[in-house]
Amino acid sequence: QVKLMHQLVENNKGFTTLEVIVVLCIVGVLAAISYPRISDWNKARTVQSDVLKAFNVFDKINSQVQRGLYAFVQVYIINEVSDDAGTSITITSRGITADTLGDKITSGAFRNASERCSADIADWDHDGTISDRPEVSSVVLDNLQTTLEPDAEEGVCFSKDGRWYSTTDGLAGVNFLELFGTGGLCDRHLNPRDEMDIRRGPQCDYRIIWSRFGNIKLEKWAEVKGDWVTQ
């Protein structure tokens, strides 16, 4: 029995240096192959996370106007572009009650569609940038870009029955906000539907769509289908 144990110990010599090197090479090759896919996945997830934050601002304030808490609401968008700091999109929700809306309608100026959703309209009952109420909110998104003009300040406004729906000039005639990852996260041009567009980054082009009655939707560009797909 002792002789058998000695024989087993002699046969159990472990891995040779060559075997260890071969295993490490195989692991290195597999890691090199999988890294780009994992990296793209992480980038796409980062973009998706910020897009969902933006969508939630729209969706939450729309739900508040539909349930009657606010009679008139605004989603206010600031597209800051800096050579040093890159891009930063701030999206804020604001709301006014039925009493405040009545006062504004009586004042007359509010009836002007080009003025009532102005970025500098005063007397919001609750503003997401300064209020801690859960019904309004504000998010700063550093991983996204938009097709809005650089340093633009735009707004879209809703009322429950659609009567007071309006936008600022930069969103006039437009019912969506397009969002996509910054250059380090998504290599793309401004038009994802351009057949000549060479897209080297992950698929991460989104848009938030609305109607004059609210009806907020989130869509993603599906390159395979060549169309927008509801998320």
The dihedral sign for the CA sequence 185, 188, 191, 195: negative
Q: Rounded distance, CA 208 to CA 114, Å?
A: 22
Q: What angle do CA 36, 40, 35 make, to 5 degrees?
A: 25
Residue 230 β-bridge partners? 219
pLDDT tens over the chain, length 231 residues:
544 455 545 555 555 776 667 666 676 666 555 545 555 656 778 888 899 999 999 999 999 999 999 999 999 999 988 766 567 899 999 999 999 888 888 877 677 776 788 766 667 899 998 888 999 999 999 888 888 888 899 999 999 888 899 998 889 888 999 888 775 555 544 454 454 444 444 456 889 999 998 889 999 887 777 788 888
Reduced to 3 states, what is the DSSP secondary structure of residue 157? strand
Which stretches of the chain are assigned E, i.e. beta strand?
72-82, 86-96, 126-127, 138-141, 144-146, 152-159, 166-167, 176-181, 205-211, 214-222, 227-230
Q: Rounded distance, CA 143 to CA 88, Å?
A: 8
Return the pLDDT at 118: 78
Q: Rounded distance, CA 229 to CA 140, Å?
A: 25
Asked if residue 70 lies in contact with residue 135, where contact means CB atoms within 8 angstroms, the answer is: yes
Return the pLDDT at 86: 66
Return the pLDDT at 83: 64
Residue among 169, 164, 182 at smallest CA distance from 80? 182
pTM: 0.76
